[in-house]
Structure 1
């Protein structure tokens, strides 16, 4: 084999690795955030693919025509997008929890002009998601993500796609994201139930009491107190669940 053919085969193998890992970098939480420019994410994919290429089972490739590489690139890109999007779906569990907490605590009350139109819930959901992304780096879970990218070649051999299993896992990811988002916001449902029952009884005993104006600040204050107390356990539960999926790439 001459030098030109050797270099070409190595480049083609690297291109196959980049198709998967570069696609993951576009969507993976922490690295694929919208605040990070797309060019930086692609640059990260280029560097990471170059570093992990020797650790993958993808070796030098030879094809009779360049078009023979195209189906493999499509398959690898689809696998990479699936991994990144599934991780993003799990991160959205924090967003769901933030919206639920905002609704229960009254932060998204449409009758309050300053925090109406779900603005309060949106801010809370964004804060929880940013906290989750921060914890990924603080706990060195991004190292686990890199290990999972190499492990993905054991689950999805190069050039092979399991569309049925991937679709099933996507459905499970959506269901699991809804479950974890509802689970970590459960303390706020209990708080909201107790306080609203109490406000209802107070209104029955004092019909002239302006319950909305009295209850709204108390509900918000109680919600913020519960959030401060429960936030460590909430984030720990989500992070443990996310790290479990990263270690298996399956539910």
Structure 2
């Protein structure tokens, strides 16, 4: 075999690893955020691929039939996109929780001229997602992400694809994301129930009181106060589920 063919065969594992990890980096929370420039994400994917290829166990591929590389690349890209999208689905639990907080706290009131119907939800969701992204790196959760990338080669060996299992796991990820969002937003449901019940009784006892104008600032202040107190527990609850999924890549 010629030296050039040997070198190309040794280079193929790096290409296959980059196909999977580069696809993961498109959606992976922290690494794939849109705030990071595309060139930096591309360079980061290249560096991580070079670093992890020797430990991934991807064998050298004989390129006597180059067309065999096409289905391998397609499978690797599919697996990488699934990992990244599943992580992003779990990350969307914070968006859902932020929207629920905004609705309960009155920040998404259509009659509020300063916040509007969607601006309040976007604001709270942005705060939670930004805090979660910072927590990923502050708590070394990004190291667990890198370990999960290596684990993916044990769960999904190179060249093997299980579409049925991937679809089932995606459905479970969506269910888990919805459950996480509801659980971490639960304190605000309790707060909204108590405050609205109290304001309703107040309106019954004092019919002349403009309850709407009184309730809005009370709900907003109370919601922000509860958010300050509950945010650490909300983020840690999400991080625990996210770390558990990274440790096994299944639900």
Q: Could you tell which deviates more after superposition, 178-187 or 11-20?
A: 11-20
Residue deviations 1:108-153 (CA, integer Å, cap 9, x gap): 1010111112101111001101111111100101011101101100
5+ residue gaps, structure 1: none
- Kindly report the root-mean-square deviation, in angstroms, between the aligned alpha carbons of the 2 structures: 0.9
Length-normalised TM-score, structure 1: 0.98
1:73 aligns with 2:73: yes
SS in 2 for 1:204: helix
Q: CA deviation at 1:200?
A: 0.7
Tell me what 2:142 maps to. 142
1:214 aligns with 2:206: no
5+ residue gaps, structure 2: none
Q: How many residues are treated as equivalent by the alignment?
A: 251
1:107 and 1:121 in contact (8 A); partners too? yes
1:89 and 1:177 in contact (8 A); partners too? yes
Residue deviations 1:126-181 (CA, integer Å, cap 9, x gap): 11011111111001010111011011000001000011001000000001001001
Q: CA deviation at 1:37?
A: 1.8
Length-normalised TM-score, structure 2: 0.98
1:120 aligns with 2:120: yes
Tell me what 2:193 maps to. 193
Tell me what 2:8 maps to. 8
SS in 2 for 1:158: coil
Extract structure 1 runs of 4+ deviating beyond 6 A: none
Tell me what 1:103 maps to. 103
1:26 and 1:42 in contact (8 A); partners too? no
Q: CA deviation at 1:63?
A: 2.3
Tell me what 2:153 maps to. 153
SS in 2 for 1:208: coil
1:103 and 1:121 in contact (8 A); partners too? yes
Distance in 2 between residues matched to 1:215 and 1:119, nearest whole Å? 19
SS in 1 for 2:95: helix
Residue deviations 1:171-214 (CA, integer Å, cap 9, x gap): 00001001001100000000000100111111111111100000
SS in 2 for 1:81: helix
